[in-house]
Amino acid sequence: MAAPVVVFAAGNRSRGDDALGPLLLERLAAVLDAEGRGERFELIDDFQLQIEHALDLAGRQLALFIDAGTGTPAPFVFHAIEPASSAATHFTHALPPEAVLAVYGAFAGCEAPPAFVLCVRGESFELGADLTAAARTNFEAAWKHLLGLCLRPDVTAWRSSFSHA
Show the CA angle centred on residue 142, arms to residues 66 and 138, nearest 5°: 110
| Interval 74-104: pLDDT, tens | 999 999 999 987 655 554 457 999 999 999 9
pLDDT for 86? 61
pLDDT for 163? 62
Domain 5-159 bears CATH identifier 3.40.50.1450: yes
Domains of the chain, residue spans: 5-159
pLDDT for 14? 94
Mean per-residue pLDDT for 34-39? 90
Q: Which helix (H) or strand (E) holds 81?
A: strand 76-81
Do residues 150 and 24 touch, judged by C-beta distance below 8 A?
Answer: no
Task: For residue 145, give the 3-state DSSP assignment.
Answer: helix
Do residues 67 and 121 touch, judged by C-beta distance below 8 A?
Answer: no
pLDDT for 73? 94
Do residues 66 and 7 touch, judged by C-beta distance below 8 A?
Answer: yes
Query: Based on the number of CB atoms within 10 Å of its own CB, is 158 exposed (0-12), middle (13-18) or buried (19 or more)?
Result: buried
Percent over 90 (pLDDT), the chain = 85
Among the residues of 35-122, which ranges form H helices?
A: 97-108
pLDDT for 104? 95
pTM above 0.85, yes or no: yes
Half-sphere exposure of 36 (CA within 13 A, CB side): 0
